[in-house]
Amino acid sequence: MHKTPYVASLRIYEPLSAFEPADRLRWQEIDASVNSKIAEEEFALRRLVFPEPPTGRPDGAHVLDIDGQRFVSPWSTATRCWAALDNFKDSYPASVVPFFISPALEDVITAGVDLMEDRVPHILTETWMIPPRWFSIFHPQERISGEDENGVFCIYRAKIADAKARTEVAHQTVVNSFGEGPVEAEIEHLLDWLELFNHGAMVELDYGGLAGYMDKALKEQGLDGIEADTSVEDVLRSLAGLASGDGAMAGAGYERLVTRWRGIQAIESAT
């Protein structure tokens, strides 16, 4: 079972050759058969109990070996901690933040942040849901699903060139239909993030523990569990409707997606 079953991840795996020599030496020794995703979850939970500067220890990485080539997605722990803190502070008045994050804990999170050469994480995460814009990156045939020691899993994996092209189409479609605004800006930010990585990289959407919740919800509806999930298809259908001016098609695809994931998000309120 996942240690953090409510987290979904969008990861960039860059070719080993894209990294600094010291990192290449360290990461080429990683055993790809070891489930590094579980190790990352365990490390995250341990840091909740025993906070420590995220720059204070060597970071881990996920690896993929595809057709004789190694791809690496660093955990980017320090970068993600810094970004999460920054986003949280932007979401609340400065007078409120200390009630949630003490100055001492903030000092722990930001220790060494000035020494970070790159504040761009290879991994984005969301809890209890997956943003529709993430689904727009992929096509249904890029899906990998099944069951392992942690239960059911669902992963989509695409070449970054394809991911960027699809995100550009989604962005232009939304702009043409609604103009500039929050939805358009979120897609643009996603595209900007994708543009920062090596042209030979891979992009992976991992449902994480949410695959188990989705599997259970769909089976309760008499469907074939996670295999019946059509989130990517629903987003593509909605975009196709927008592009063709078919509001009914666009609305049906989006409503189907939102309804399905609303049930998953409801679990958060129940726990």
The pLDDT assigned to 228 comes to 95
Is 65 part of any domain? no
Express each pLDDT in 115-138 by its tens digit: 444 567 899 988 899 999 999 999
Is 89 part of any domain? no
Q: What is the mean pLDDT of the chain?
A: 83
Is 74 part of any domain? no
- For 241, the domain range is 7-13+122-270
Residue 29: both structure tokens together? 């020794």
Is 136 part of any domain? yes
Region of poorest pLDDT, from 71-80, 159-168, 211-220: 71-80
User: What is d(CA 204, CA 156) in angstroms, rounded to the nearest whole number?
Assistant: 6
Is 91 part of any domain? no
User: What is d(CA 137, CA 166) in angstroms, rounded to the nearest whole number?
Assistant: 6
pTM more than 0.85: no
Nearest to 62 by CA among 52, 47, 72: 72
Bridge-based pairing of strands 123-127 and 61-66 is unpaired
Q: Return the amino acid letter for 221.
A: Q
Kindly state the percentage of the chain with pLDDT values over 90: 58
Is 215 part of any domain? yes
Is 94 part of any domain? no
Contact 53, 108 (CB under 8 A): yes
Element (H, E) at 260: helix 247-270
Confidence of residue 7 (pLDDT cuts 50, 70, 90): confident
The pLDDT assigned to 198 comes to 95
User: What is d(CA 114, CA 96) in angstroms, rounded to the nearest whole number?
Assistant: 25
Contact 12, 190 (CB under 8 A): no
Is 252 part of any domain? yes
Residue 99 reports pLDDT greater than 80:
no
Domain count, the chain: 1
Angle (nearest 5°) at CA 136 between 133 and 139:
155
Confidence of residue 58 (pLDDT cuts 50, 70, 90): low
The pLDDT assigned to 116 comes to 46
The pLDDT assigned to 271 comes to 59
